Amino acid sequence: MVDTAYGDKLPEKSHEATASPSVIPDVEEGTQHSTKLSRGLQGRHMQMIAIGGSIGAGLFVGSGSALQSGGPASLVIGFIIIGCMLLCTVQALGELAVLYPVNGAFYVYGVRFIDPAWGFAMGWQYAIGWLITLPFEITAAGITIDYWHHYNIGIWIAVFLTSLIIVQFFGVKGYGEVEFVLGIIKIVAVIGFCIFGIVVNCGGVPTDDRGYIGFRYWNDAEHGNRAFRNGFKGFCSVFVTAAFAFGGTELVGLAAAEAANPRKSLPKATKQVFWRISGFYVVSLLIMGIIVPNSSPDLLNASGANTKASPFVLAIKYAGVKGLPSVFNAVITISVMSVANSCTYGSTRTMQALAQGGMGPKLLAWVDKKGRPVWPVIIQMTFGLLAFINEAETGSTVFNWLLSLTGLSSFFVWGSICLSHIRFRHAWKAAGRSLDELPFKSQLGVYGSYVGCTLVVLCLMATFYISLFPIGGSPNAESFFSGYIAAPVILVLYLGYKVCMRDTTTWVKIRDMDLDTGRREFEDFPDSEPDEPERRASVGRKLSRAIF
């Protein structure tokens, strides 16, 4: 038996060891060809990544444009639909990641259970998406400073990029600790806003002369406030914003390869996602949509990181509370930097895994003695320099087109995870194995993955519709490709792999699926503490041996 890059046991026979293209045997750590990542993420890190890891500008700022285009009811319903999709996805991912806490996670699952070409396309689309999102988040963090005083944004881009580089020196532990601290700040801020919003709605703020608000802005046609704005188009427009806001939830599965005890920490982390979706997204957006008029002209510029148009900041401004808007703007700055930190983690680990699986340059697979994928980190930090494009007059136009490449990335990843889980379950059953052998089972079962796949397809159709027929405009190429260009990109990657590898198969056949490579041996990782009777019996046996 040999130890693999995932810390798992594989047969010594070479043909079995290479059954999956995602497996490269380990060599001595710290050597030129080491591919072993550090396992430094503790349970508290995993739970905070699940709860607040990607709460950022998508929620705090982007929701403003969705409120203005779709209305408060469309906003809440859209986020609930995407939230249900995420619940199904994360449960499926939890089952796979506990059993196979492999480097690359969902990219590997796509290769093994769907098709190598699809895994390749989805993996690189995901990595490219994070590569491009990083300079956007750094720019967003710089723009938030403009709320207090106008400075040259290039100065703050340099400051924030340098801060991210420093975090990378500490490896996965640095990522985990930063997310833990910043995640707590974000969670406290969202809870505080919800309490504040309830008080405002009840007319409990002395500086707010609106009195009791109720659902006034949901049915106020006289002033242009409606629960649903722009009809079905307005409803469809919410999905892209919601997907961007929820993007990064899947990082829990990607972090499984670097978790100290995935069997214990991953199930807990996946269960926390429900509270994140219901408490930190749906409830906060419901309250925000109640106390902020959706016809407000201030919402027209609620995109990117324009915190002056953030509906959360506007809610505090409209209540007439002094000083608090600056506090919440600081929270948005922290949130954006947290997402930038997640961008770095997501892209570097995915690139390293792709290279390790033979689907990228071998150089990217190298990991140093401290478990850091050095070259992917260098590439990611280099992409961060794209933020300086905003210094040019046409920089924003170039930047927006680059961001279009990431528009549908999350939908493809989430759909791939659900489909991988469905096909895994079929293969597990065909191999005559019982579900009782799984260390963790999705609470929604395989049916949850079917629901997840269905919702992904419906959201892609809705996004296609709103890209083809934009609100307030006629069909045009620029509008369509700015919203849907990620689809042809992933199609090119998929077909390119098929042509280069001369692969004519449609997908991996059920009977050919590898169910053993990458499995973590869990004997050394107890699921939980023994129950009380077992604990007492164990103590009794130890006392007996000690006495007699």
- Give me the torsion for CA of 195, 196, 198, 201, rounded to 10°: 180
Phi, psi at 259, each rounded to 5°: -90, 140
pLDDT score of 504 more than 90:
no
Alpha-carbon gap, residue 50 to 276, rounded angstroms: 8
pLDDT of residue 114: 94
pLDDT of residue 535: 42
pLDDT of residue 1: 34
Each residue's pLDDT tens digit, 19-44: 344 443 333 333 344 446 655 566 66
Range of the domain at 54: 2-547
pLDDT score of 339 more than 70:
yes
With bands split at pLDDT 50, 70 and 90, how would you rate the model's confidence at 340?
confident
pLDDT of residue 306: 58
pLDDT score of 542 more than 60:
no
Averaged over 284-311, what is the pLDDT? 81
Going by C-alpha positions, the residue among 275, 359, 274 that lies closest to residue 23 is 359
pLDDT score of 207 more than 70:
yes
Averaged over 270-286, what is the pLDDT? 80
Where is average pLDDT lowest: 233-242, 243-252, 254-263, 322-331? 254-263
Whether 270 contacts 91, CB under 8 Å: yes
pLDDT of residue 43: 60
pLDDT of residue 6: 35
pLDDT score of 3 more than 70:
no
Whether 217 contacts 294, CB under 8 Å: yes
Each residue's pLDDT tens digit, 509-521: 998 898 888 776 5
Tell me the residue length of the chain. Answer: 548
Q: How many domains does the chain have?
A: 1
Whether 241 contacts 65, CB under 8 Å: yes
Each residue's pLDDT tens digit, 436-473: 889 889 989 999 999 999 999 999 999 999 988 888 77
pLDDT of residue 257: 61
pLDDT of residue 532: 40
CA angle (130 as vertex; 41, 173 as ends), nearest 5: 20
pLDDT of residue 540: 43
Whether 364 contacts 354, CB under 8 Å: yes
DSSP label of 298: G
Alpha-carbon gap, residue 233 to 49, rounded angstroms: 33
432: how many CB neighbours lie within 10 A of its CB? 6
Averaged over 326-355, what is the pLDDT? 86
Average pLDDT, the chain: 79
Alpha-carbon gap, residue 431 to 444, rounded angstroms: 22
Highest-scoring range by mean pLDDT, 138-147, 198-207, 295-304, 390-399:
198-207
* CATH number of domain containing 466: 1.20.1740.10
**Amino acid found at 424:** F
CA 90 to chain centre: 10
**Amino acid found at 45:** H
